[in-house]
Amino acid sequence: MAQAERPQRERNLDNWLPITATRKAKWYYSAFHNVTAMVGAGVLGLPFAMSQLGWISGILAITVSWMTTLYSLWQLVELHEVVPGKRFDRYPQLGEHAFGVKLGYWIVMPQQLTVQIASDIVYMVTAPNFHSLRGISLLAAIMSFSYSAIAFVASTIKGTHHHPVRYGVRSHTTAGVIFDVFSGLGTIAFAFAGHSVVLEIQATIPSSPEKPSRKPMWKGVIVAYIIVALCYFSVAISGFWAFGDSVEDDVLVSLEEPRWLIAAANFMVFLHVIGSYQVFAMPVFDLIESVLIQKLKFNPGRALRLIARSTYVALTGFIGICIPFFGGLLGFFGGLVFASTSYFLPCVMWLIIKKPKSWSFHWIASWIAIIVGVLIMILAPIGGARQIALSAKQYKFFS
């Protein structure tokens, strides 16, 4: 009897948990969910990354990251239903299939969880607040595109004033240049953070043998990545062109006039935070509530959801307010965890599950992405930590 009841209990739990509660999403839902997850606080730091890397290296790094992460995202979309009749609705579930039940969960879950918590902390640094968690992803996507457009237009106008601008790298010492390059790579990696929620987004799309979820999901991803390219390259190039190596780690800080436009852009950032925080926090809520119910035997209900989620929001908000090192956090977290979940972890799982022939296209592409991702993961946290240490000399807690 217990074995017969277990599947029903699991179905009831899936119907209550936020990730699998509904599967009625359309392809364009995946488009703006991916835009919301991807085009966030990181885009505002791209001109700063350009100032650390220089023109050629900066544009090359963004281009390589865009191509690499689009490929690894395609791999995740394809692996979502790699086993006929089964859907891997969460990143750790795919990890269990690739690496084994015990090892896979602990390889993937800590990295995904760190990405999502890190994202929420950075969004709190951008606009610290405690909100009701009811973000509208479409509004957030529109806001992210809008403040990117404002940053591009305002920077372009500023650049036409022909003020003296230096286009070298920021640091004037060999060690400083090296550390800045490390940090800049991490900042760019942070801008491609959406992979940690891709499977969860795809889980909301209906699927059948005739109409698998990967087709509408990939359609939405393509639209999202076109928007990502428009936002990232326009903001990065115009911001660095306008301010050179003196650009701030948040380009909106460098833009002083017109004040009403900059105020509008910052308000759009605030509105985007509501949606992006929700997108990154939802898998964390799903994990917390699942553990509380399955392991600690709590009863599902509004009270449990309210207490668990409010506690998480309070903790990430508190940490974000305490550590106002926006640029350093981008570089540090971008390399420490984002490089794995967005650059090389999908490729590793693809090689294990799909087993492509040696020297085939997917074998070569996967290994290139793995090498790029591992290098960023090793080097970027070093540069980010140094930048945080330098910033700490000028900041106070709760500043």
Q: Give the CA count within 13 Å in the CB-facing half-sphere of 2.
A: 0
- Neighbour-count burial of 285, counting CB atoms closer than 10 A to its CB (0-12 exposed, 13-18 middle, 19+ buried): buried
Structural domain contains residue 4: no
Is 120 inside a domain boundary?
Answer: yes
Per-residue pLDDT, averaged over 149-155, amounts to: 95
Structure tokens at 21: 């509660």
Buried b vs exposed e over 169-192: b needs ≥16 C-beta within 10 Å? bbbeeeeebebbbbbbbbbbbbbb
Which sign does the torsion angle of CA 64, 252, 160, 143 carry?
Answer: positive
Q: Has residue 370 been placed in a domain?
A: yes
Residue 10, in any domain of the structure: no
Question: How many other C-beta atoms are found inside a 10 Å radius of the C-beta of residue 360?
Answer: 10
Supply the range of the domain harboring residue 263: 24-392
Q: Under a CB-based contact definition with an 8 Å cutoff, are residues 122 and 320 in contact?
A: yes
In terms of phi and psi (left: phi > 0; alpha: psi -120 to 50; beta: otherwise), the region of 254 is alpha
> Tokens in use for 296?
């600690």
Number of domains in the chain: 1
pTM: 0.85
Whether 173 maps to a domain, the answer reads: yes
What is the Cα–Cα distance from 114 to 111, expressed in whole angstroms? Answer: 5
Residue 5 lies in a domain: no
| Closest by Cα among 26, 29, 46, 19 to 228 | 46
Q: pLDDT tens for residues 325-362?
A: 556 677 787 788 788 999 999 999 999 999 999 999 99
- Whether 326 maps to a domain, the answer reads yes
Output the pLDDT for position 227: 96
Kindly state the average pLDDT of the residues 10-15: 61
User: Residue 279: what pLDDT?
Assistant: 72
H helix and E strand count, the chain? 18, 0
Q: Which of the residue ranges 23-32, 126-135, 153-162, 308-317 has the most confident prediction, judged by mean pLDDT?
A: 153-162
CATH number at residue 47: 1.20.1740.10
Phi, psi of 149 (to 5 degrees): -65, -40
Look at residue 313 and give its three-state secondary structure.
Answer: helix
